[in-house]
Structure 1
Amino acid sequence: MGSMATGKEATLHQRILSDIENQIVSGAWPPGHRIPFELALAEQYDCSRMTVNKVLTQLARAGLIERRKRSGSFVTHPQAQSAILEIHDIKSEILSLNLPYSHKLMKLAERRGRSEDSRRLQFAGPVTVLEITCIHYAGSRPFCLEDRVINLDAVPEAANADFASLPPGPWLINQVPWSTAEHQIRAISAEGEAAASLDVAKGTACLVVERRTWSPSGPITHVRLTYPGDRHSLVARFTPAS
Structure 2
Amino acid sequence: MSLAEDRAKPGAGTLYKTIRQDIERRILTGEWPPGHRIPFEHEIMARYGCSRMTVNKALSELAQADLIERRRRAGSFVRRPQFLSAVLKIPDIRAEIGALGRTYGYQLISSMRRAANAGDRERLGVKKPCKVIAIRCRHSADNLPFAIEDRLIDLDAVPDAAKADFKVDPPGSWLLHHVPWTEAEHAISAIVADEAIAQGLGIAVGAPCLVIERHTWRQGRPLTAVRLIYPGEQHRLVARFRGSE
The reply to whether TM is greater than 0.5 is yes
Question: Which runs of no fewer than 5 residues in structure 1 stay unpaired?
Answer: 1-15, 25-29, 41-59
Q: Secondary structure at the match of 1:34?
A: coil
Aligned to 1:204: 207
Aligned to 2:123: 120
Alignment RMSD = 3.1
Residue number among 125, 132, 146 corresponding to 1:143 in the alignment: 146
Aligned to 2:22: none
Residue 146 and residue 35 in structure 1: after superposition, are their counterparts in 2 closer, same or farther (change >3 A)?
A: farther
Kindly report which structure 2 residues correspond to 1:82-101, keeping only aligned pairs within 5 A, or say none: 82-101=85-104
Tell me how far apart the structure 1 counterparts of residues 124 and 237 of structure 2 sit (CA, whole Å): 23
TM-score normalised according to structure 1 size? 0.72
Q: Does the 8 A contact of 1:103 with 1:137 survive in 2?
A: yes
Tell me how far apart the structure 2 counterparts of residues 225 and 204 of structure 1 sit (CA, whole Å): 16
Tell me the CA shift for residue 172 of structure 1.
Answer: 0.4
Tell me how far apart the structure 1 counterparts of residues 191 and 69 of structure 2 sit (CA, whole Å): 30
TM-score normalised according to structure 2 size? 0.71
Tell me how far apart the structure 2 counterparts of residues 176 and 64 of structure 1 sit (CA, whole Å): 39
Residue number among 202, 214, 217 corresponding to 1:214 in the alignment: 217
Residue 219 and residue 167 in structure 1: after superposition, are their counterparts in 2 closer, same or farther (change >3 A)?
A: same
Question: Which runs of no fewer than 5 residues in structure 2 stay unpaired?
Answer: 1-24, 45-61
Kindly report which structure 2 residues correspond to 1:11-22, keeping only aligned pairs within 5 A, or say none: 21=30
Tell me how far apart the structure 1 counterparts of residues 169 and 40 of structure 2 sit (CA, whole Å): 39
Tell me how far apart the structure 2 counterparts of residues 76 and 103 of structure 1 sit (CA, whole Å): 23
AA in 2 matched with 1:101: Y
Residue 31 and residue 94 in structure 1: after superposition, are their counterparts in 2 closer, same or farther (change >3 A)?
A: farther
Tell me how far apart the structure 2 counterparts of residues 74 and 194 of structure 1 sit (CA, whole Å): 22
Tell me the CA shift for residue 93 of structure 1.
Answer: 2.8
**Identical-residue share of aligned pairs (%):** 44
Q: Between Structure 1 and Structure 2, how many residues are aligned? A: 198
Tell me how far apart the structure 1 counterparts of residues 135 and 69 of structure 2 sit (CA, whole Å): 40
Q: Does the 8 A contact of 1:149 with 1:221 survive in 2?
A: yes
Q: Does the 8 A contact of 2:193 with 2:205 survive in 1?
A: yes
Residue 34 and residue 150 in structure 1: after superposition, are their counterparts in 2 closer, same or farther (change >3 A)?
A: same
Tell me how far apart the structure 1 counterparts of residues 94 and 79 of structure 2 sit (CA, whole Å): 19
1:155 correspondence with 2:158: yes
Kindly report which structure 2 residues correspond to 1:1-242, keeping only aligned pairs within 5 A, or say none: 21=30, 24=33, 30-31=34-35, 33-34=37-38, 65-66=67-68, 74-216=77-219, 218-241=221-244
Q: Does the 8 A contact of 2:183 with 2:220 survive in 1?
A: no
AA in 2 matched with 1:113: A
Q: Secondary structure at the match of 1:202?
A: coil
- Residue deviations 1:57-88 (CA, integer Å, cap 9, x gap): xxx9xx995499xxx98422221111111001
